[in-house]
Structure 1
Amino acid sequence: MSKIPLPALPDVMIEPVIRMALLEDLGRAGDITSDSIIGPDICTRVVFSSREYGVVSGLDFARLAFSLIDQRVKFEPVLTDGEDVEPGTVLAEASGSARSILTAERVALNFLGRLSGIASSTATIAKAISHTKAKIACTRKTTPGLRFAEKYAVRSGGGSNHRFGLDDAILIKDNHIAIAGGVGVAISRAKKMAGHLIKIEVEVDNLHQLKEALEFQPDAVLLDNMSPQMLREAVRMIDGRLIAEASGRINKDTAPAIAEAGVDIISAGWLTHSSKVLDIGLDFVE
């Protein structure tokens, strides 16, 4: 079965954050360096190249950085988001006013490197657990204002998204349980409030809490910081009745054993808050 292409984000979603980043960079007087050194009629062509192995994401973000500065700049992607790259791989080309290209360069590279870094980290985990049914998912631990972009990058890397905000699913965590007075009472209260399309997930730290949660039939359980051995027992107790998600200490070395325990989802907050930027360069061709 062929891979379904990753749907692109509409420009109307991307443009506000690109515009904000450009305004931050332009400050009160614009690009005084380029404007003072480069003539207005000078044109050039540049290429974006990866300097390391990874997965590309954010090409439309780079495109909009140039078009918002100068609609005459021609941005031509060579790849599509989600494709693997290696050192020297050309991701895209841009041609037009040298002033405009230099003015938009940093914003374009910031987004392209950041999102490609998230996609690359996600792909590393996705590949490590590809022999299992488990999927790698992100969390709400995202850069304020950039959640939609960073979650898109996770999808670019072959991962899936957890909830986008506090309003699209109910996730009962340890502090909710402590304040409510127990797992069962927290789930019961959530069920009274939730509409028929809202899923309910509850976080449990041990098998005793899991047993109690199962009695109240949530849609999913978050098995937090459990060893692979405990996860296997938890999966046995769940017996396919609901979604089993594991979190805690997830990296490319620990993920396989966690996935092999039989969980459906592995979630990791560091994918979006701590992934290393993919090193991408902009080089002048002519």
Structure 2
Amino acid sequence: MFDYEIRLLKDWIEKDNAFFDIASYELRNKNTIGEIILKNDNVIISGIEIIEKLLNEYNIQSEFYSKDGDYVNKGIIGKISGNAYNILIVERIMLNILSLMSAISTKTSNLVNKINGKTKLAATRKVFPSLGNLEKLAVLHGGGDTHRWNLSESIMIKDNHIALYGGIENAINIVKKYKSFTKKIEIEVENEEDAFLAAKNNVDIIMLDNFSSENAKETARKLKEKYPHIIIEVSGGINEENYLEYVDENIDIISMGKLTTEVKYIDYSLEIEI
């Protein structure tokens, strides 16, 4: 597990290290101990498991006092020990991953906790290349829904597919032949008429894209009355200021790109014990 991500992080570390870290070179035969310090309160921590595996690649021992998904306040969250040179070249990547993942999980948790009802808050595919799985894992640690992990996890027909296939019905009928019983078909629509056309053609999920909250609720209500089995998702133009306007008994999923694209980093530091 995390094999690809660990290879990626190691590659970044080795490129950063280049031939060697000049400032740390004389410490290559020295062992040391360091404390990882969380400098913010009210944090849903994320990134511990991946960091433990990364540190292990450099023979650095670690002991963390919290696990992914825990609510934590500022203080020492863990201790590491090993070769001083290795600890110093790993330090920045380690702290960056903890900072990013904890920021996403904390933001997700804060937003999810304000939802009163069955509607779920989900991420989107607006994630950084290579880091996407870690960002989505952080959403999961924060209590959100990950949405698709990759393109093949579900069959999602978007506006450009509809244009290239020559319409909603053609798009649905063409991709149906690739559908397994384990896969759902989702389609993105921009108006109520297209939503009902998609429902008529037996899709599993309808995404109401860039609907106002009032229009989304009304369209979702009509769809659920006739097609109660269809999952209704809303997306587009949704942020932390307006997402609660979309919470409704007929809306199953609110997906928000800003869960991963607009986050305030959580502050971590490493302090070496002398």
Cα displacement string for residues 132-156 of structure 1 (whole angstroms, at most 9, x for unaligned residues): 1111111222211122222111111
The match for 1:242 is: 230
Instruction: Measure how far apart 1:256 and its partner are.
Output: 1.3
Instruction: Measure how far apart 1:274 and its partner are.
Output: 3.3
Given the alignment of the two structures, is residue 116 of structure 1 paired with residue 105 of structure 2, yes or no?
Answer: no
User: Distance in 2 between the 1:212 and 1:21 partners?
Assistant: 48
The match for 1:214 is: 199
Matched position secondary structure for 1:128: coil
Instruction: Measure how far apart 1:182 and its partner are.
Output: 2.1
Unaligned residue ranges in structure 1 (runs of 5+): 1-9
TM-score by length of 1: 0.87
Identify if the C-alpha distance between structure 1 residues 39 and 20 changes in structure 2 by more than 3 Å, giving closer, same or farther.
closer
Identify if the C-alpha distance between structure 1 residues 64 and 18 changes in structure 2 by more than 3 Å, giving closer, same or farther.
farther
Of 161-170 and 273-282, deviating more is 273-282
Amino acid paired to 2:171: A
Cα RMSD after superposing both structures: 2.0
Instruction: Measure how far apart 1:33 and its partner are.
Output: 0.8
Given the alignment of the two structures, is residue 80 of structure 1 paired with residue 67 of structure 2, yes or no?
Answer: yes
Cα displacement string for residues 95-118 of structure 1 (whole angstroms, at most 9, x for unaligned residues): 233333222111111111111112
Given the alignment of the two structures, is residue 25 of structure 1 paired with residue 13 of structure 2, yes or no?
Answer: no
Matched position secondary structure for 1:125: helix
- The alignment-based identity, stated in percent, is 32
How many residue pairs match? The answer is 271
Amino acid paired to 1:16: R
Given the alignment of the two structures, is residue 34 of structure 1 paired with residue 29 of structure 2, yes or no?
Answer: no
Identify if the C-alpha distance between structure 1 residues 99 and 23 changes in structure 2 by more than 3 Å, giving closer, same or farther.
closer
Amino acid paired to 1:12: D
Unaligned residue ranges in structure 2 (runs of 5+): none
**Superposed counterparts of 1:85-234, under 5 Å:** 85-86=72-73, 88-129=74-115, 131-234=116-219
Cα displacement string for residues 197-247 of structure 1 (whole angstroms, at most 9, x for unaligned residues): 221011111111112112112000001111121111122122122100011
User: Distance in 2 between the 1:98 and 1:137 partners?
Assistant: 41
Cα displacement string for residues 21-72 of structure 1 (whole angstroms, at most 9, x for unaligned residues): 2212211x22221123x47235233233233432111112322333222x1x
Check conservation: 1:138, 1:269, Cα contact below 8 A. yes
User: Distance in 2 between the 1:54 and 1:157 partners?
Assistant: 10
Check conservation: 1:246, 1:266, Cα contact below 8 A. yes
User: Distance in 2 between the 1:276 and 1:149 partners?
Assistant: 16
Of 210-219 and 176-185, deviating more is 176-185
TM-score by length of 2: 0.90
